[in-house]
Each structure stands twice: as C-alpha cells, then as structure tokens.
Structure 1
Amino acid sequence: MEFDAIILAGGRSARLGGVPKARLMYDGATLLARSLRAADGAGRVAVVGPDPGDLPAGTLTCREDPPFGGPAAAIAAGLSALADRASSPGAPAPFTLVLACDMPRSAAAVRALADALIDEQAGIAGDGVMAVSAEGRKQPLAGFYGTAALQRAATDAAREDRLENASVFALLARLEVREVRVPQGSTDDVDTWDDAAALGVSGGIPGLGPGPGTAQQNPTMEANGEKPG
C-alpha cells in the first residue's frame, strides 16, 4: 500500500509544563523517533512542529500557520509540505497516515489500520480508516485518510477560515471514514506527567526541564484526543 505520513509534533505540552512531547523517552527512543518508526514504509514523511534537528534523511519539516494553531492547521501544513515535495518526482500517495507523536505504542495501531485499509480496498469505497481504542475512544490522530479527500477538506476549511484552533473531527466531518478497533493501549497518549508515569515515559534527555511530579498547568488545546503533538 502506498502512503505518505504526517507526524504532528508541535503542541504546547501545557500540562507537561511546556516539555516537548516529541523528545520524551520510551523504551530507549524519543516519542518522535517511535512515531517515525511507526510510519515506516511511507513514501514521504512530514513532521509538523519545531525542527527537532536530527531526523532521517529526506524527512520534511514544517510548521502550522499560525504556530500552535491546532491539529487541523497542522494537518493542512503537512499536506502542503508533502504536495510541494510530490511535485518532483511523482504524485502524492493515495493515502496519508496522520499520526500524533504522543502515543508511544502507536506502531501496533498503525499496523492494524493498514491491514484494515488493505482489506477495505478490495471492494469497499471510503475515505480511510480511523483508530478506535479497545474502550471505544475515537482517535482521529491515528488514521489513514484518502489524500485527495483530506486535501479537499483542508482547502475548504482554509477558504472558510475555519482551520485555526479547529478540531480534527470537524476537519474530517465530510469524509467517509471507517472506525477500526486497534490493540489495547496502542493509542494511549501522554497529556500529563501522570499519563507519562503510567505508560513508562520519561523526560530522559538532559535539559528537557521538569519531569513527573511537576505542578501541572491548565490545558490549552489538548482536549478530546486532538492534540497537535
């Protein structure tokens, strides 16, 4: 299956005291590195957020407009970056994996989604697949979406000035997306230091700042599983 990938890594991390989620550590690797591994097989990859520096060769980086403008704006920025690169050589892939970087076990979810999408292509029309946890929680930031349909949604939202601070569910509202149950824990994400402790995630890198036990700040745009990173 041909696909490109957008990794969202540009959130404020408000409830982590501003510590970048992309640089948190799980099982010896940063959450961003694990997300990139989960997207293995993508033709092109765009990381949306502050440039982390050390990325695999060929990985694109970009920022949502405005910075911290929310996950819908981040997806639009990633699509734009992929389209610019796709002009030479080749066209965009038929599907785009959208993946937040704060799910340390997301590789299992991505595999389940890819398997479901391959089965679906055998005869069921639609605009992609979205992860649903074992507990029934929808996670739109773990999904494969038809690139053309997703681009149309982003273009329409931009034209109507409803990208900034918009939810991913609103962006996807006109798409025919099938919900796919994914393995237990594969979409568990890190919003707070309590979440990090429960998942075995740590700061891990010198200079990252506070870790578990730090007083939590009020959340800004990280509700309902729709964080940009």
Structure 2
Amino acid sequence: MSVTVIILCGGTSARMGGVDKTAMDLDGRSVLDRIVVDLPDDWPIVCVGEPRPLSRDVTWTREDPPLGGPVAGLAAGLAAGPDSDVIVTLAGDQPFAGPTAVACAESLRGAQLGPDIDGVAARQDDGHPQALLAAYRREPFARAVSAADPGSGVYRTLSRLEVLTLDSDTRATLDVDTPADLDDARSTIRDADASG
C-alpha cells in the first residue's frame, strides 16, 4: 500500500507572536525539517503552506483561500498529492511526530486490520485520537474531507471514521505553539543527546 503525507504548516502562529513556528530552530534544523527527515524517503510529502527550504524535496500547495483552515488544507493536500492508498496527516509544529506517523501507517497496512478500520492515530493524553498524527485509508478519508464545510474543525470532519488509537512516545504529540513549547522541544533534544 502506497503512502502520501500531508503536513499542514500554513497557520498564523498567533501564540508564537506571528512568527512562523515551523521555521523555528531546533538544534540546527527547523521544526518542520525535523518532521520530514524522520519520514521514509519513498513517501511523497505534500506541505500545505508557504514554500520554504527543506532538506528533502516536497510538493508545496496552499489551501483556497489561504488561511482557510485545516480542513481546506487537507483538501488541498489531497488534490496536490499522488493517488496513494494511505494518507498520513501531520501538523507542521510537531517536530518529533515522524516515527509515530510511520508506526500508524504500518499498523494500518498490517494484515490484522480489517477493511472496516479507516485509520490509526496516535492516542492523546485524554485517550482520544490525534487526528493530525494519523494514517487513514484514502477513500473514506477523502469522502469525509470532501463532504465537510471547509471551515469545519478537523476532529468534527473525521469523527465518523473508524479509527484505532496507538500508544506513542509523549514527545510525538508535542506541539510547538508557544515559546515555552519551543524551550521544551529544545530540552527534549538536549536530553536525548545526553542519554546517547
């Protein structure tokens, strides 16, 4: 089963003072670059946002209208990417999400899951699926996105899909939304380097 990744990275970064949070530096790499380097080389990546340099090739696109919301971003990502069997969705401010995204996709592609399962998502602290750290079968995912009001929330849009949740490292769901979050991410990298 082929996989395409859609990364939403076109928000306003309001809680970061309007500075592009996905471009913030984490030990020599941007937050966004930390995500893409952890994804398999043979997975096409569609980034929804303003183009910027990254360490691997991606396809850039924008939602219509720009800043039209995450569901509009997912629709734009679907339209710009190849017709893959599995769609992995990520938020561009989750620098450590790559390995968990791979685990979600591998679980979804596993023979043990029946066709009635539409996706596998990382489990949040509250037990709910993290809709933007997940892998979905393309057809039900595309139906849900196309049927939604573009201004709807992601969770509401995807709530009717049958999604299993997967335990993940707590680092995977770390969002760099604020300067304090950025400090936490930098501390995570330092701690990982110190432990070898």
SS of the residue corresponding to residue 5 of structure 1 reads strand
Matches within 5 A, 1:55-94: 56-57=56-57, 59-82=58-81, 86=82, 92-94=83-85
The alpha-carbon deviation at position 18 of structure 1 amounts to 0.8
The one of 131, 135, 141 aligned to 1:144: 135
Which residue is equivalent to 1:20? 20
Contact 2:4–2:87 (8 Å) recurs in 1: yes
Gaps of 5+ in 1: 87-91, 202-229
In structure 2, the residue matched to 1:182 is 168
Give the TM-score of the pair, scaled to structure 2: 0.86
Question: Residue deviations 1:150-177, cap 9 Å, x none?
Answer: 11112212xxxx112x211111122111
Structure holding more helix per residue: 2
CA 1:173 to 1:192, structure 2 compared with 1: closer, same or farther past 3 Å? same
Instruction: Give the TM-score normalised by the residue count of structure 1.
Output: 0.74
Higher relative contact order (CA 8 A, sep 6+): 1
| Structure 2 Cα separation of the partners of residues 42 and 17 of structure 1 | 35
Identity %: 34
Deviations, residues 35-58 of structure 1 (Å, cap 9, x unaligned): 21233245421110011145633x
The question of whether the paired residues in 2 share the 8 Å contact of 1:71 and 1:167 is answered with yes
> What is the CA distance between 1:144 and its match in structure 2?
0.4
In structure 2, the CA distance between the partners of 1:200 and 1:137, relative to structure 1 (3 Å rule), is: farther
Amino acid across the alignment from 1:4? T
Runs of 4+ in 1 over 6 A off after TM superposition: none
